Amino acid sequence: MTRTPAWAQTWTVLRALVAVLIAAAIVAQAVRTIGGAMDAGRDVGTTVTNFFSFFTILSNVGAVIVLLWAAVWFWTRGRNAASEPRGLGLMLASVTTYMIVTGIVYNTLLRGVELPQGTTVPWSNEVLHVVGPAFLLLDLFLAPRRRCLGWGAIGVVLIFPLVWVAYTLLRGENVVNPVNGDHWWYPYPFLNPHLGSWASVWFWVGVIAVALGVAAAGVVWVSRIRGRVRQPEPALAT
């Protein structure tokens, strides 16, 4: 079923619609957060930077871009292709991994915790943490034209999370929290050493790193089962 032209068209439309939904959720939360900062006289520049420092927001922004990229590729070049281009395949593997881990971390560690991003928009929160991750998981198994990736793709997928962790921990102690005036700001409680210790922070960094590695390996494994390759990929083939 997933290789029929009708299914390919249907799933591509779904990709575009979900991308628009996620984008709307990001905008709705941004308007609430930034508008709240303006109304309260808080530093808007810091608020905007903090908003786009959440792994959830960045993962969802990435998902919007890549899902729209996949839809445009299919409608312009992909109808008769055996599989998606390597770059698109890598980016789909990346955002799928990030969104799956976002959904797991939020629903196991953060659901019910008030995050320092202003008043949460309930429907937006569910789209960003449940609907989006669930769709990307389904996309992994049901989307047409999935490319077979080499195991080296796992390293590519993990680059962004490593950069994000370094950025978050280096920036955290050098930002004044615009909400309460603390001389530090971290996007998530488990990354905040002032709520525990640096040992606990590194523990959770390790746990999430393992989760990301396992998720990335699983995504690549599924791609290898589902994907079709016309020629070897020298940079990423096993």
Tens digits of residue pLDDT in 82-135? 788 999 999 999 999 999 999 998 888 777 766 555 578 989 999 999 999 999
- Within 13 A of 49's CA, how many CA atoms are on the CB side? 16
- Rounded mean pLDDT, 57-63: 98
For residue range 66-77, list pLDDT tens digits in order: 999 999 999 998
Q: How far apart are CA 59 and CA 85, in angstroms?
A: 21
Contacts of 133 (CB under 8 A, 6+ apart): 99, 100, 102, 103, 104
Phi, psi (degrees; rounded to nearest 5) at 215: -65, -45
Residue 57 is inside which H or E element, if any? helix 55-73
Q: How far apart are CA 29 and CA 122, in angstroms?
A: 9
Q: How far apart are CA 27 and CA 203, in angstroms?
A: 33
Residue spans per domain, the chain? 5-226
> Which pLDDT score is estimated for 127?
97
Residue 159 is inside which H or E element, if any? helix 153-172
**CB-based contact 70:136 (threshold 8 Å):** no
Q: How far apart are CA 208 and CA 190, in angstroms?
A: 11
Q: How far apart are CA 60 and CA 82, in angstroms?
A: 27
pTM of the model: 0.90
